[in-house]
A and B are shown apart, each in its own frame.
Chain A
C-alpha cells in the first residue's frame, strides 16, 4: 500500500491540532455540568407530578359540586324538562355542523318553566395553567434529558462519514490510475475524535439552551406557581371541609350508638373505629401533596445556578468546541488530499 502518511512540518501541525482538540474536549466536558442537568430533570418530574395531582383534585371538586347540585334537585323534588334543542338534535347532520357560527344544537335539561340548572364550576383556566406549566417542565426535561440517542446516532454517523470519505479517496485514486488503496485507518481515529467533540458540543449546547430558557422563564414561572399555590390552598380547604363533614357524620353515629343501651358493643366499636380512622385521614391530608410553592423555589434556585454559570469561560468553551470540530474537519481534508495525490500533503 502506498504511503499516505503525514510527515514533516505538517505532521507536527497535525499532532498539535490533535493535542489542542483533546485539550478542548477536556475543557468542554468540564463545563457540561451533569448535576445541573439532573436537577433540571428532577424539577421537571416533580412539576409533572404536582400538575397531575392538581388536575385530579380539581376534577374531584367539580364532581363533588355536581353531586351537590343533583342532590339538591332531588331533595327539592324539582320537575325536570327538556329544551327544544333536544328535538333539533334529531335533525342535525351526523358529521356535525359545517358552519362554525351555527353549531349543532345541544340537548339540555331545565327546570319546569325553562329555568336553567346550575352548572358545576369548570376551573378551565386553572387546568390550562397547570397544563402549561406541565408542558414547560416537559420541555425542560427534553432539553436536559437523555441525549444518549444523539450520542449513538452522532458516533455512528461520524464513523459512516469516515468510511464514505475513505470510499471517495479509494475511487479518486482508481480514477487517477493508481492502485486502489484501503481507507486510511487514521480516518477512523479522526472520526472517533470528531464524534466525541460533537457529542460534547451537543451536550454543551443543550445545557446552554437549558440555562437560557430557565433564566428567561423564571418570572413567568414564579407568577404561575404563585397562582397555582393559591388554588392549591383553596382546594385544600374544600377537601378538608369535605373530610370534616365525614367526621361529623361518623361522630354523630358513634355518639348515638354510645347513648343507646340497646346497641351492641361491637356495633359501637366499629362506629368509633370509623371515627378514629377518619380523623387520622384528616390529619394526614395534604402531607404528600407536592406544593407548587416549593416547585417555584426550586425553579428560582435553578435560575440563579444558571445565571451564575453563564460565564465567559462557557462561551470560550463553546467556541473552542467549534474550532475543534472545524480543526478535525480540516485534518480530514488534508488526509483526503494526501490520498488523492498519493503522497504527503
Chain B
C-alpha cells in the first residue's frame, strides 16, 4: 500500500493563500506612510505580516508532524532496513567466498607440514 500524506492539497492551498496575503501586505506597505506608532496603518500591516509568518511556521510544523505520522503508520522503514540488510549480507558472502581460498591454502600447508613431519620420523 502506498503511503500518502492525506492533506497534501489543502496544506499547499493554505501555504499559497498565506503567501498571497503576505504579498498583498508588502504591496500595501509600499504605499503607506512609514510610522513607528503601533496604532499606525503601517505598523498594523507589519503586525499582520509577522502573524502570517508565524502561521506559516506553524503550518510547516503541522505538515512535518503529518509526514511523521504517515511514516509511523507505514512499514517503509522496516522494508528499507530489510533491503539494506540483504545487500550487506550479499556483500559479506562475496568477501567470505574470496577468503575461503585463503583458508584452503592454509589447510594444505598444514597437511604438507604433517607429511613432512612423518617423513622425518626415524623408521621411515
Contact = CB atoms under 8 A, between A and B. Distances in A.
B38 to A, nearest CB: 12
Contacts of B31: none
Contact of B53 (A168, A210, A227, A248): A248
Interface in A253-297: 255-256, 258-259
Contact of B88 (A139, A223, A237): A139
Interface in B15-59: 15, 22, 34-36, 46, 49-50, 53-54, 56-57, 59
Interface of A: 58, 61, 65, 121-126, 128-129, 132-133, 135-136, 138-140, 142-143, 150, 153-154, 156-158, 160-161, 163-165, 167-168, 171-172, 174-175, 198, 202, 205-206, 209-210, 213, 216-217, 220-221, 223-224, 226-227, 230-231, 233-235, 237-238, 241-242, 244-245, 248, 252, 255-256, 258-259
A127 to B, nearest CB: 9
A269 B63 CA distance: 39
B61 interface: yes
B53 A157 contact: no
12 contacts: A61-B61, A126-B67, A135-B80, A154-B98, A161-B101, A168-B112, A223-B3, A224-B80, A226-B3, A234-B67, A237-B63, A238-B64
A112 B116 CA distance: 87
Nearest to A149: B95
Interface in B93-124: 94-95, 97-99, 101-102, 104-106, 108-109, 111-112, 115-116, 119
B87 A142 contact: yes
B76 to A, nearest CB: 5
Nearest to B114: A171
B108 A168 contact: yes
Contacts of A167: 108-109, 112
Best-buried of B2, B53, B67, B86 by chain A (most CB within 10 Å): B67
A223 B98 contact: no
A202 B64 CA distance: 44
A21 B70 CA distance: 54
B10 interface: no
Given A217-B80, A220-B79, A227-B76, A248 B46 contact: yes
Nearest to A239: B60
A241 B108 contact: no
B56 A241 contact: yes
A119 B115 CA distance: 74
Nearest to A233: B63
A135 B85 CA distance: 9
Contacts of B35: 259
Nearest to B90: A209
Given A126-B67, A227-B70, A242 B57 contact: yes
